[in-house]
Amino acid sequence: MRKTLVYLAILAVLSFGVYYFLISDHGSSYDPKEADFTIKDTASIGKIFIANSAGQSVLVERTSNGWTVNKRDRALPSMVNLILSTLPHQETLYPVTHAAYDNAIKVLSTDSKKVELYDRAGKKLKVFYVGGTSANQNGTNLLMEGAKTPYVVQVPGFTGYLGSRYTVEMTDWKDRTVFDMPYEEIKSVSVQYADKPINSFVISRDGENISVSADTNLSRHLDAQNTRRGNLYLKYFTNINCEGIMNGIPGMDSIIGHSHKQSVIDITGIKGEHQRADIYWMDINRRSKNLTVSDPNVPDDYDADRLYAVINGGKDTVMIQQYVFRKIFRKAFQFFQNDDTTAIPQSSQLPRNVMMHKDH
């Protein structure tokens, strides 16, 4: 019993010490209202506005068709989920200490991000400022609008800076979808190769019936159309994403202007909608895997892993991966092969200008 009392006394002293050095150090009491940076019911959030001191901003809104950014583009789901998983869990540890107060206020005044949160009806829920890291580098300084005292905030299980989650960069927020059309909604898919048009094709769908259109100089040398392969191919166009968005990179327009086109892929939906990608080869560079070992499917002048693509009606330039798009880069003759045929037909079976190696 005596030992228990001793332990309780020690615990009380330690608790007082934490309060004295961390909370009372600034001379302000802990204000629950000014320290409440959480929103537990994230389903109630309808709009998120983030702006930085340099004048950049993003407006992320919930709509009937999902989240949008700046009223123009689909928002990246993983970015939305990151914010919505941060808001219920970012907990306040203590007010910024007296020793760190001046520096914290300076950063909040000159290099902070303002976060405004609204419900689905447009009513303001919370407004706070995201400053720099805490003095011990394990938390982030946040200041509620109208308050004088910043607080050190942290997400349990995460040690680091929360400011990067409240980004204002459009490239962080824009959805990375290149193609996303379910099989049932596809009317046709056109794949046109720039250098070898004889490999180009169009697959049209009418219910469960499909037809493959190809160069007559090619199709007359091959077997009958393989309907199963065509139907399977049309199922490849859901959730096809790019690796990264290249908008705003200096000289990007010039790079695309001088790049060699690889193909144009155009999907038409049954309601008339279009999804199109103009795809360009990326020049070989010091990071290219085929710099020393040639890739049989890629010309030696170009990178074997990545390409550029212009999407969304020319608004966005993105980087795509061969690994993701390889299943889409089919050739017309493959839709006229039997299922037990996996090899490229013998040269004698095809016109001389059909591409078999080093495809463009």
Supply the range of the domain harboring residue 341: 177-349
Q: How confident is the model at residue 18 (pLDDT cuts 50, 70, 90)?
A: very low
pLDDT (average), residues 79-96: 96
The number of angstroms, rounded, from the C-alpha of 151 to the middle of its chain's C-alpha atoms is 31
Residues 231, 139 share a domain: no
State mean pLDDT over 2-12.
43
List pLDDT tens digits, range 44-62.
Answer: 999 999 999 999 999 999 9
Q: Around Cβ 266, how many Cβ atoms within 10 Å?
A: 15
Average pLDDT, the chain: 87
Q: Are residues 138 and 275 in the same domain?
A: no
Question: Are 241 and 317 found together in one domain?
Answer: yes
Say which residues have a Cβ less than 8 Å from residue 166's Cβ, sequence separation at least 6: 50, 83, 113, 115, 130
Assess if residue 360 is contained within a domain: no
Same domain, 223 and 135: no
106 and 195 belong to one structural domain: no
Examine the fold and report which residue of 120, 141, 173 is the final residue of a domain before the chain moves on. 173
Average pLDDT over residues 223-244: 93
Same-domain pairing of 210 and 231: yes
Same domain, 197 and 245: yes
pLDDT value at residue 114: 98
Query: Where is the domain boundary, 144, 173, 202?
Result: 173
Q: Is 342 exposed, middle or buried (0-12, 13-18, 19+ CB in 10 A)?
A: exposed
Query: Do 232 and 328 have their domain in common?
Result: yes
> Are residues 164 and 48 part of one domain?
yes
Does residue 42 lie in a domain region?
A: yes
For residue 11, pLDDT beyond 70: no
pTM of the shown model = 0.77
Tell whether 186 and 261 lie within a shared domain: yes
Whether 181 shows a pLDDT value over 90: the answer reads yes
DSSP H helical ranges for 125-215: 170-173
Task: Convert the pLDDT of each residue in 93-122 to its tens digit.
Answer: 999 999 999 999 999 999 999 999 999 999
Per-residue pLDDT at 301 exceeds 60: yes
Contact 231, 210 (CB under 8 A): yes
Q: Examine the domain organization and report whether 158 and 207 are in the same domain.
A: no
At residue 12, the pLDDT reads 40
Chain-centre distance for alpha carbon 228? 33
Q: What is the C-alpha separation between 42 and 245, in angstroms, rounded?
A: 28
- Averaged pLDDT for residues 161-165: 94
